[in-house]
Chains A and B, each alone.
Chain A
Amino acid sequence: MTGGDRLATLAPATSEALVLEHVTRRFGGVVATDDLSLAVAPGEAVGVIGPNGAGKSTLLRLVAGVLQPSSGTICYGDRSLRQLPPHDVNRLGVGLANQIPCPFRALTVEENLRVAATASRAGRRSSQKGAVGEVLAACQLDALARTPAGQLGLLDLKRLELGRVLASGARTLLLDEVAAGLVGKELTAAIELIRAIHASGRSLVIVEHVQRVIEEVVDRVVVLDWGRLIADGTPGEVASDPHVRKIYLGSTTEGAPRPAAPAPTPRAAPLLSIDGLTAGYGSLVALSDVSCAIGEGQIVSVLGANGAGKSTLARAISGHVPARAGRILWRDRPVTTLAAHERARLGIAHSPEGRRIFSEHTVRENLLLGSPRRASRARRADRLDWVLEVLPALRRLAGRRAGMLSGGEQQMLAIGRALMAEPSLLVCDELSLGLAPAIVDSLYETLLEVQRHGIALLLIEQNTHRSLAISGSAYVLHRGRVTYAGSPDPLLDEAFLADRYFAAPGAGAVPPAEPPPGQVVATSHGGS
């Protein structure tokens, strides 16, 4: 709440009504928004939810002028936005903040805001003079004003993304999943800022999968599915709508029937064991003295706040980041110095954050690209069949261009492509980032199916409850050190999890609250 007073300094603004009537947008044969009508009153905050591919981002991009509707009208106040390019839409007072912040990385924070403040109000210099300073203070970025945007952490990047839209003079803000990837205190800080923006009289249209944002900010929620508006009401009304629960919310609201924790097969030697691993980039040390282990066919969660070193651990395992110290053993064989492609041949597959699918290629081509180079044609075809059996959802999409898939389908494809390499261990980085809860459900079912085929999984997740529910053991990283290793159960307690997430730097080696189960060969030599 420390920011409360300073957030209040945001000058009030009056927004105008944003009215969409019968807006349809087609991409080729695909209808992204279908006869969509929606009115946002001045000062209102509306949440837009729905499964991936429902047309939510398309909706925001249509309003912002990035896309033009195939038919229908969009008006802001008494001005039609039809055929206006993005910069003109922005000058009328409608601003879009992106899911993935795209700051001008070489410019400082202040320069970023200055571009926004001066671009849209060229004629009114007096009004912009204070704007940059005010936004800096409101977004709690004043200490970072002269820092290049490329050096910011995730929360500050999100603040800058919001700040730029504010500085551009937007009175209606379109927020496209601005909270994605934030957890714990950082999420709270972002929500506080969004609430302050709303309290200043600006209206908001928020596309968001992070339910806390919807619950804590908006007064009204609309639900999209296949480009159509299927529900409209208060958050409570919408959450109790059975249809919405079925297509979007999935099991989360029903107290998540936890899949029975699979019985891992205990073995004498783990599949992968890491001992005292240190790794980093340049002068930055991202992992420090990390030890962990994964048994054959086991599911292991790696949790931690942004910048804790989770992705670096994944890359160090797959060989994309060299180890500076420590050992990595694969079936008792040292692989510490092996190149990434050699480890892939041994059976380590990595499904990176952000999916990285080849969007110009078809689903089938993407999958075939994942198979080992030396595999024979027949073996490749067999493997493809096997993957399509494990991931049946991909079968009917096989001929489709991968860029046309929804986020959930793309993630499914990324898993499938990794499986083509015939791995024994699949490392999944941020599987559920930006995906609708119901989609995440089906992805997790897929993961259990993968595990049933004897493939071990290392899950790096923000979505802690989902991954802990299916894991045999869990690790928490904080600033590159292991702060918890052991059974996933104690971490289901929010307070304990937060404690491990933001453990004091000196407390790096706090022993696990519960002794790790027998099959987990895990210790942390960090700290002291």
Chain B
Amino acid sequence: MATATAHVVTGAAELDPLARRRVPVAVGALAVVAVVGLGAERLLSPALLNVGVTLFAYVALAEAWNILGGLSGQMSLGVGAFVGTGAYSMALAMNHLGWSWLPGLLVASAAAGVLSAVLAVPLLRLHGDYFAVGTLAAGLALEAWVNNWGFAGGSSGISIAVGAVPTLGTLYSIGLVVAFLAVAVTVVLRWSIFGLRLLALRESELGAELLGVDVVRYRLLVLVLSGMLTGLAGGLFALTQINFVPSDMFGMTWTIEALVMVIIGGMGSVLGPVVGALAIYYGISTELATYPTLSLFLEGGLLLAIVRFFPEGLWPFAVRRLRALAAPARAARRLSGVAARR
């Protein structure tokens, strides 16, 4: 895992020349947003702070799925395995070792990363749909095992000692930093040579390999990185829920949420998952919390509409439309060019 982190750092160092300026600007802008968000903490009501924490955790979850599924094309159906590992390792470290939330979150991320590296041994032999089914099996197996693991409370679950849980305001700040980290990692990945290689192997593993890309290594790195971010999100969810049973944390819900958010927002784009998390968690689940049936119906309907009419996702679609509006002259010229060629 040390190599994973080190490599991501070198990946940032050898940025795609086209994007060399774009990345610091984007990360800087993100940092400004984060600082403003931190400053806003005192102005927000407890209810909004609560919504904020969960939203940030979902942003991290969606981005983590996005760098694995969207950038490298490895569709994971076992998100729960990493959320659960993060949540449980954090709760166990806090309860049994008496650690505070900060080392607890680091343990959550590290444990999920180790799990990714171990699961990689069988998973990286699989490709495409088989990889997806492999991750699904890993998630189900882990859930079954934790259900029967007496030390961690078995099927009756586990509680974090209430005294060790940070205040809502602190939780909000932690969430903001975690979400910032997830988006920043995606920015750096998306616009680096590292990310370009991921996009290449998503299209054709053999093609990338024939051009000198060590496909297994890149698949492993992105799997571990995504696992670590998912574990971090899992730790955050644990801090907000305090009491939970294995099916809460290892269940299929996480996979479905992450997938829906990324698909609706825009798979493979940087801000798509953020938009997806906002739309699904805030726009539908929170605002319509009193009408759970309606919100489910809307969520399904939205997913169908996106897949049918804007398969690229909301964010890339919006960016494209805005660009077209900003440069009508260019668009018109391009259109007439196409017409002439015909």
Is A294's beta carbon under 8 Å from chain B? no
* Contacts A90-B212, A115-B208, A119-B208; A107 near B14 (Cβ below 8 A): no
Q: Determine the main DSSP class of B at the interface with A.
A: helix
Q: Which of A96, A115, A169, A283 has the most CB of B within 10 A?
A: A115
Chain B neighbourhood of A169, CB < 8 A: 212
Given contacts A102-B207, A104-B207, contact A115 B214 (CB under 8 A): no
Chain A count of residues within 8 A CB distance of the other chain: 34
**Is the CB–CB distance between A164 and B211 below 8 Å?**
yes
Q: Does B197 sit at the interface, judged by CB under 8 A?
A: yes
A115-B197 in contact given A87-B215, A106-B203, A125-B14 (Cβ < 8 Å): yes
The reply to whether A168 and B199 form a contact with Cβ atoms under 8 Å apart is no
B129 within 8 A of partner (CB): no
| Contact, CB under 8 Å: A119 / B204 | no
Interface residue? A54 (CB, 8 A): no
Contact at A104–B203, with CB atoms within 8 Å? Answer: yes
Contact pattern, B 199-222, Cβ under 8 Å of A = 1, otherwise 0:
110111011111111110000000
Instruction: Using CB atoms, name the residue of chain A closest to B339.
Output: A283
Contact status B210-A118, CB under 8 Å: no
Nearest-neighbour CB distance to chain B for A398, whole angstroms, equals: 31
- The listed residue (A107, A118, A283) touching B203 by CB distance below 8 A is A107
* In contact, A66 and B210 (Cβ under 8 angstroms): yes
A115:B210 contact, CB within 8 angstroms: no
Choose among A64, A102, A116, A167 the residue that contacts B204 (Cβ–Cβ < 8 A). A102
- Please state if A119 and B197 are interface contacts (CB–CB under 8 Å): yes
Is A454 an interface residue when CB atoms closer than 8 A count as contact? Answer: no
With A87-B215, A104-B203: A111-B209 Cβ-Cβ less than 8 Å: no
Taking a contact as CB atoms closer than 8 A, the residue among B16, B199, B206, B211 that contacts A119 in the complex is: B211
Contact B215 A106 (CB under 8 A): no
In the bound complex, what is the Cα–Cα distance between A283 and B335 (angstroms)? 11
- Cβ < 8 Å to B, chain A residues 105-158: 105-107, 111-112, 114-116, 118-120, 122, 125
Q: Chain B residue with minimal CB distance to A122? A: B14
The answer to whether A91 has its CB under 8 Å from any CB of chain B is: yes
Asked if A95 and B207 make an inter-chain contact with CB atoms under 8 angstroms apart, the answer reads no
Residue A91 contacts which of B193, B196, B202, B212 (CB distance < 8 angstroms)? B212
Q: Which of B196, B214, B342 contacts A87 (CB 8 A)?
A: B214
Q: Which residues of B contact A167 (CB under 8 A)?
A: 211
Whether the pair B211, A168 counts as a contact (CB closer than 8 A) is yes
Q: Name the residue of chain A whose CB is nearest to the CB of B193.
A: A118
Between-chain CB contacts (< 8 Å), 6 pairs: A64-B210, A66-B206, A95-B211, A114-B193, A114-B196, A119-B212
Q: Give B contacts to A, CB under 8 Å.
A: 14, 16, 193, 196-197, 199-200, 202-204, 206-215, 338, 342
